[in-house]
Amino acid sequence: MDITVKGFFSSVANWFTLMRLILAPVLWILAFKGNFPLVAYGLIAVIVTDILDGQFARLLDQCTKIGERLDSLADHIIMISSVIWLVMARGDIISAKSSVFLPVVIFYLIAILLGLIKLGRFGGAHILEGKLFGLFGYLFLIVSFLGYYFGWIFYAAMASWVLHSGLNILYLYRSDLFDERFHSLIFGLMGVEVKSKLFKFLF
């Protein structure tokens, strides 16, 4: 594995991850200006780059530990920032749903803290189920920043966030339950080995 600066920047996958990190301060500026529709479109760009970095890493055989850690750092920066942006943009929702929202956020912070204590860094498990759960969270954020609210999306996002945090905590202490290729709890418990090339490329 090439861990030099040149080697790092020669990875296409790492460039997509860096784009996500660069987007974070840009979205903060937009949030402070109150331009939350543009923040919503920025989050769509975040989703696209998040998908592309993983696909290019696998397609070009550029999967590295440093790339994985950088990807996790970008994910957590965007997620924590998004929570703050949500409070700034839709305080009405947070106030009305605080009895649900606050415990979910606290559970997420506990998962982060445990990861920092056990690993000394943000976790980088990239659990398969977590990727699917994350889509609900992004959907809720994007819809909220565009000025809309749907109860079912809110509760789906909160449930997915709890499950994602719970999976990350479980992985910290019982990684043996997850399969090695996709870090999937379901595949690990079932002992399933996925052979589909398309599935391996997508995930």
Residue in the block written with tokens 């009305």? 96
4: DSSP letter: S
Class of domain 5-202: mainly alpha
Query: Of 200, 188, 92, which is closest to residue 144 (Cα–Cα)?
Result: 92
pTM score of the predicted model: 0.81
CB 115 within 8 A of CB 123: yes
pLDDT of residue 2: 45
CB 42 within 8 A of CB 30: yes
Note the maximum CA span of the chain.
Answer: 50
The amino acid occupying position 27 is: L
> Which residues, including other chains, have CB under 8 Å from residue 100's CB and lie 6 or more apart?
155, 158
pLDDT of residue 194: 72
pLDDT classification of 184: cutoffs 50, 70, 90: confident
Arithmetic mean of pLDDT over the chain: 83
**pLDDT one-digit tens code per residue, 79-91:** 899 999 999 999 9
The pLDDT > 90 percentage for the chain reads: 41
Mean pLDDT of all residues in 76-105? 93
The pLDDT > 70 percentage for the chain reads: 81
Q: Is the pLDDT of residue 37 over 70?
A: yes
**Both structure tokens of 71:** 């990807």
Q: Is the pLDDT of residue 56 over 80?
A: no
**Both structure tokens of 184:** 């999937």
Mean pLDDT of all residues in 25-31? 96
Q: Is the pLDDT of residue 1 over 50?
A: no
pLDDT classification of 159: cutoffs 50, 70, 90: very high
Q: What are all long-range contacts of 169-178, with beta carbons under 8 Å and residues at least 24 apart? A: 169/110, 169/111, 169/114, 171/123, 171/125, 171/127, 172/114, 172/115, 172/118, 172/119, 172/123, 173/118, 175/125, 178/125, 178/127
**pLDDT one-digit tens code per residue, 111-156:** 888 988 887 766 555 777 877 778 888 999 999 999 999 999 999 9
| Residues constituting the chain | 203
What residue spans of the chain are helical by DSSP H?
A: 5-9, 12-32, 36-59, 65-89, 91-96, 98-119, 128-145, 151-173, 185-190, 197-202
Query: Of 59, 54, 34, which is closest to residue 147 (Cα–Cα)?
Result: 34
**Both structure tokens of 2:** 């090439």
